[in-house]
């Protein structure tokens, strides 16, 4: 006789409740309730089928959705534990109850990726040489490698123009890091910006100047201008596909850029749940693009990494790719070209060590929120085919505890960052990655952490990262420390007392006038007085900057700047369009959508 039981576990962005039908010890049916529009929701049908086929809960986790897979497994375990008398029905439905049969290797954590650094080297190899004997198993006009925002924008553009498109995706679900993003996107001069902000005279030229200034002479200006010029069209392209733009705001200022070029440009879409722009809302964008690409005839294959390019011996032309599909190696011809869209070197420790010191340090010490399948494969594939690299070195970092300076509508609370000498070193309310680059540099130069100092008044201020309750909890956990005097504070954070006293005296003297003549801070300028609170600055990494050299058509260039025929790159796989730090929210999504489309447009124009 079959009986039904239920269990609930905490998944990614919400709970998963499994309803399990048991015939004796065997699971004959399982259905799961998952919040729609979440990473957990993307893999759930596959997990249901796998458990039904196996008759038990212990099936393989889905790559790229491991937290959700383990949560699904825990929910099923908890349901079966009710049948066995190991849990009551009530306990099984309480997400806080531990999975009684939790496997030793189960991943835990609040996000799919926090602290999960794939130390496995990327699976890719050098190119397979092309000759007349090479037999392709399949043939398409375009092969897109990676189904994040860049890959899906490329696939949609190419498929809608009538080209046959194959998308190779290494993970078990689509979307990559783009799923985890807020989906916000910068553009200047759109109808939305005019209607929703006071900036009715903005234009792409000002936008490009701003990004070029922020790029500190390290960006390819042609790429940046082309991105700024096309960003408004891409906003409209997405709106035509059903994305509902609902608000526009600005990134925090950057001291070294001209304020004349600043405007509110960060476009936020409706996430369908009464909000927008929150981490995880990127899934609306990836699902919209995926649907458009599939509706236009594109094919996508999951758990199918591209592991090599097929290239002529003179290293001038790319003919296709090698993928691993269902345990088999298959050669796919790309008659017009291959678009690499596998993001940056996010979880690749070796490439980070060689090319990006800040990212290398983050991978070793801090949480990295980008998709664990992003191991720099496209960058390695391109380099192995002779491509040059450009713009390696920056990161998209923010202060992980406070999210300080991510939105210009939220002022920085009164606080200062101090280095190991007890001195201020940066404009604290500058955009987050600018500040976090300074934090990284101070920490490397002085070999010790930096700290954020605030006081009782800071908690009452607009933009405070803490309430009285959350602060009390953090003090109890030791994440925030409290000091009654400057001397005690200096001792707690191991900095010279006289320096710290001088720093606070200087800050407080200027703060009384509402000015920061030292670093030109604009918000949260108020004196700090005892008792003090202190929190060690901790970076949270959203991705590595830098990638393959491309031209404005999206073609990958070799080390002598000649195009490698048939090879294109888009999104964070491409370098040169972002400078040594991330210039503000919405830049990456603007870039990935534009470059995905641009590479596809070049392929569409290509004569056969």
Residues that bind ligand FAD (CB under 6 A): 64, 124, 145-151, 168-171, 176-178, 180-184, 279, 282, 305-306, 341-343, 369-371, 373-374, 377, 396, 542-543, 571-572, 585-589, 592
Cα distances from 394 to residues 215, 227, 407, 440, 583, in angstroms, run 10, 19, 20, 11, 10
> CB of 587: closest distance to ligand FAD in angstroms?
5
In whole angstroms, give the CA distance from residue 159 to residue 166.
Answer: 10
Nearer to ligand FAD, 37 or 183 (CB): 183
Nearer to ligand FAD, 82 or 289 (CB): 289
> CB of 6: closest distance to ligand FAD in angstroms?
31
> CB of 310: closest distance to ligand FAD in angstroms?
15
Alpha-carbon torsion angle 606, 291, 368, 70, nearest 10: -140
Nearer to ligand FAD, 97 or 287 (CB): 287
Cα distances from 293 to residues 153, 166, 222, 297, 452, in angstroms, run 8, 10, 28, 7, 46
Report, in angstroms and rounded to the nearest whole number, the Rg of the chain calculated over CA atoms. Answer: 25
> CB of 230: closest distance to ligand FAD in angstroms?
15
> CB of 168: closest distance to ligand FAD in angstroms?
5
Nearer to ligand FAD, 168 or 450 (CB): 168
Non-local CB neighbours of 295 within 8 Å, separated by 6+ positions: none
Nearer to ligand FAD, 74 or 345 (CB): 345
Nearer to ligand FAD, 396 or 426 (CB): 396
In whole angstroms, give the CA distance from residue 467 to residue 446.
Answer: 32
CB 343 within 8 A of CB 543: yes
CB 221 within 8 A of CB 212: yes
Nearer to ligand FAD, 174 or 524 (CB): 174
In whole angstroms, give the CA distance from residue 40 to residue 16.
Answer: 8
Nearer to ligand FAD, 70 or 269 (CB): 269
In DSSP notation, 290-333 reads: HHHHHHTT-EEESS--EEEEEE-TTS-BEEEEEEEETTEEEEEE
Q: Which of 261, 186, 185, 80 is nearest to 72 (CA)?
A: 80
> CB of 269: closest distance to ligand FAD in angstroms?
10
> CB of 314: closest distance to ligand FAD in angstroms?
24
Residue with the shortest CB distance to ligand FAD = 148
What DSSP element (H or E) covers 39? helix 39-54
In whole angstroms, give the CA distance from residue 338 to residue 463.
Answer: 46
In whole angstroms, give the CA distance from residue 407 to residue 429.
Answer: 10
Classify residue 182 as exposed, middle or buried by CB count within 10 Å of its CB (0-12, 13-18, 19+).
Answer: buried
> CB of 333: closest distance to ligand FAD in angstroms?
17
> CB of 102: closest distance to ligand FAD in angstroms?
27
Nearer to ligand FAD, 79 or 599 (CB): 599
Q: Which of 308, 306, 343, 346 is nearest to 323 (CA)?
A: 306
C-beta atoms surrounding 18 within 10 Å: 31
> CB of 452: closest distance to ligand FAD in angstroms?
21
Nearer to ligand FAD, 234 or 585 (CB): 585
């Amino acid at each position: 006789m079959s009986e039904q039981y239920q269990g609930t576990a905490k998944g990614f962005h919400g709970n998963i409740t499994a309803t399990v039908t048991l015939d004796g010890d065997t699971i004959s049916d399982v259905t799961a309730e998952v919040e729609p529009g979440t990473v957990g929701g993307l893999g759930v049908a596959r997990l249901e089928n796998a458990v039904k086929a196996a008759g038990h809960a212990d099936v393989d986790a889905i790559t790229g959705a491991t937290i959700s897979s383990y949560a699904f497994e825990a929910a099923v375990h908890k349901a079966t534990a009710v049948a066995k008398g190991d849990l009551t029905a009530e306990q099984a439905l309480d997400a806080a109850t531990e999975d009684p049969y939790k496997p030793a290797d189960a991943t835990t954590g609040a996000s799919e990726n926090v602290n999960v650094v794939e130390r496995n080297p990327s699976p890719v190899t050098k190119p397979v040489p092309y000759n007349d004997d090479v037999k392709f198993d399949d043939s398409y006009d375009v092969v897109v490698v990676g189904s994040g925002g860049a890959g899906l924008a490329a696939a949609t553009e190419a498929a809608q123009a009538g080209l046959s498109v194959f998308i190779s995706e290494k993970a078990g679900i689509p979307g990559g890091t783009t799923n985890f993003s807020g989906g916000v996107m910068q553009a200047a001069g759109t109808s939305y910006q005019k209607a929703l902000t006071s900036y009715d005279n903005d234009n792409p030229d000002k936008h490009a100047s701003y990004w070029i200034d922020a790029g500190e002479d390290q960006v390819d200006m042609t790429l940046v201008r082309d991105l700024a010029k096309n960003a408004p069209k891409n906003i409209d392209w997405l709106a035509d596909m059903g994305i509902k733009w609902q608000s526009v705001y600005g990134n925090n200022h950057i001291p070294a850029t001209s304020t004349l070029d600043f405007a509110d440009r960060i476009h936020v879409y409706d996430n369908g749940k009464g909000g927008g722009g929150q981490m995880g809302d990127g899934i609306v964008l990836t699902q919209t693009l995926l649907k458009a690409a599939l509706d236009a005839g594109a094919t996508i294959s999951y758990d199918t990494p591209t592991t090599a390019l097929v290239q002529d011996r003179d290293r001038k032309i790319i003919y296709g790719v090698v993928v691993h599909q269902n345990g088999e190696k298959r050669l796919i011809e790309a008659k017009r070209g291959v678009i690499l869209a596998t993001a940056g070197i996010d979880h690749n420790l070796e490439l980070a060590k060689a090319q990006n010191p800040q990212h290398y340090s983050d991978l070793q010490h801090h949480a990295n929120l980008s998709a664990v399948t992003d191991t720099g494969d496209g960058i390695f594939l391109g380099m192995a085919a002779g491509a040059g690299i450009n713009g390696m070195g920056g990161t998209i970092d923010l202060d992980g505890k406070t999210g300080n300076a991510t939105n210009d509508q939220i002022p920085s609370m009164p606080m200062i960052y101090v280095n190991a000498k007890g001195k201020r070193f940066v404009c604290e309310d500058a955009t987050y990655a600018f500040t976090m680059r300074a934090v990284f540099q101070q920490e490397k130069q002085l070999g010790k952490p930096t700290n954020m100092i605030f006081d009782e008044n800071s908690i009452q201020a607009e933009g405070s990262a803490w309430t009285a309750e959350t602060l009390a909890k953090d003090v109890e956990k030791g994440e925030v420390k409290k000091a009654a005097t400057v001397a005690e504070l200096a001792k707690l954070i191991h900095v010279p007392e006289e320096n710290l006293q001088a720093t606070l005296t200087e800050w407080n003297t200027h703060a009384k006038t509402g000015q920061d003549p030292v670093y030109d801070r604009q918000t949260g300028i108020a004196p700090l007085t005892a008792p003090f609170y202190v929190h060690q600055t901790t970076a949270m990494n959203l991705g590595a900057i830098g990638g393959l050299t491309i031209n404005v058509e999206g073609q990958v260039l070799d080390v002598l700047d000649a195009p490698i025929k048939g090879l294109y790159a888009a999104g964070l796989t491409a370098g040169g369009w972002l400078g040594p730090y991330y210039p503000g929210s919405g830049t990456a999504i603007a870039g990935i959508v534009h470059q995905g489309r641009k590479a596809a447009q070049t392929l569409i124009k290509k004569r056969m």
